């Protein structure tokens, strides 16, 4: 019944004639007062602002990255950022000497075993389960033995072996002078 086209036309006519409203007096005036007091952002300046914001972000990123890099090589932080000494990119002796914590990749397990032979709480048990499947070992090295152990591990990592050997990653941590234990300690992470 209410779907009759005539009825719909009547509704349309009445809506058009009766449902409109006039804006309250003063509406346009209020709007224009606000418009004239509102500083509209200049579209020509927008690309400049975007460029400026991008430059600030990039500068902050560069500053942050260079700061991280500085902490890694400066290394008074006690090994919070490990210094890597891999066979492909060996560190200079001066830089390594200063580092308190380095990671040496590709150390033959046999070399680590030899070094660890003299380690406290280590011995053969270290290489038994559950450490057997590990590829990362943590080595706490007394201050006085640091250079010798580091050099040996780095050399073994770069040395070419004729026979196939399992290689692991070793993180060395230099103990403070006079700290205990006085011997090398090997742990499985």
Partner 1 sequence: MTDALAIPLRPTTRGAAYHAPVRLHDASDEWLAKRSARGDADAFEQLVLRYQDRLYTLALRITLSDADARDCVQDGLISAWCAIDRFRGDARFSTWIYRIVLRKAYDTLDRRRRSADPSEEIAAVSHDRSSDDRLDLIAALSALEPEFRAAAVACDVIGMSMEEAAEALGVPAGTVKSRLHRARARLAQQLEVNRTP
**Binding site residues, partner 1, CB under 8 A:** 1-4, 7-8, 10-12, 14-16, 18-24, 27-28, 30-32, 34-36, 38, 40-43
Q: Which residue, 29 or 177, is less far from partner 1 as judged by CB?
A: 29
Q: Residue 42 and residue 22: Cα distance in Å, rounded?
A: 33
Smallest distance from partner 1 to CB 135, Å: 55
**52-90: string of b/e by CB count within 10 Å (b at 16+)?**
eeeeeeeeeeeeeeeeeeeebeebeeeeebbbbbbbeee
Planar angle of CA 180, 182, 183, nearest 5 degrees: 130
Nearer to partner 1, 23 or 89 (CB): 23
Q: How far is the CB of 49 from partner 1 (least distance, A)?
A: 14
CB of 53 to partner 1, least distance (A): 18
> What is the closest distance, in whole angstroms, from the C-beta atom of residue 33 to partner 1 in the complex?
10
Closest CA to 91 of 112, 109, 105: 105
Helices and strands per DSSP (H, E), number in the chain: 6, 5
- Residue 3 or 177: the one with the smaller Cβ distance to partner 1 is 3
- 13 vs 120, which CB is nearer to partner 1? 13
153 close to 111: Cβ distance less than 8 angstroms:
yes
**Residue 177 token pair:** 């002078």
* Minimum separation from the CB atom of position 86 to partner 1 (A): 53
Q: Is the dihedral of CA 145, 148, 84, 134 positive or negative?
A: negative
Nearer to partner 1, 31 or 97 (CB): 31
Pairing label, strands 101-108, 136-141: unpaired
């Amino acid at each position: 019944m209410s779907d009759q086209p005539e009825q719909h036309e009547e509704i349309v006519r009445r809506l058009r004639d009766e449902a409109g409203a006039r804006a309250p007096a003063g509406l346009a005036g209020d709007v224009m007062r606000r418009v004239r007091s509102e500083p509209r952002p200049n579209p020509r300046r927008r690309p400049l602002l975007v460029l400026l914001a991008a430059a600030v972000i990039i500068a902050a990123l560069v500053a942050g990255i260079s700061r991280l890099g500085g902490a890694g090589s400066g290394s008074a932080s006690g090994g919070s950022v490990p210094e890597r000494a891999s066979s492909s990119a060996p560190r200079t002796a001066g830089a390594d000497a200063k580092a308190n914590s380095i990671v040496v990749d590709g150390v033959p397990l046999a070399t680590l075993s030899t070094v660890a032979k003299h380690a406290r709480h280590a011995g053969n048990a270290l290489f038994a389960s559950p450490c057997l499947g590990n590829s990362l070992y943590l080595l706490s090295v007394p201050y006085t033995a640091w250079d010798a152990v580091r050099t040996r591990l780095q050399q073994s990592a770069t040395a070419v072996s004729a026979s196939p050997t399992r290689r692991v990653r070793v993180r060395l941590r230099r103990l403070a002078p006079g700290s205990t234990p006085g011997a090398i300690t090997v742990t499985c992470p």
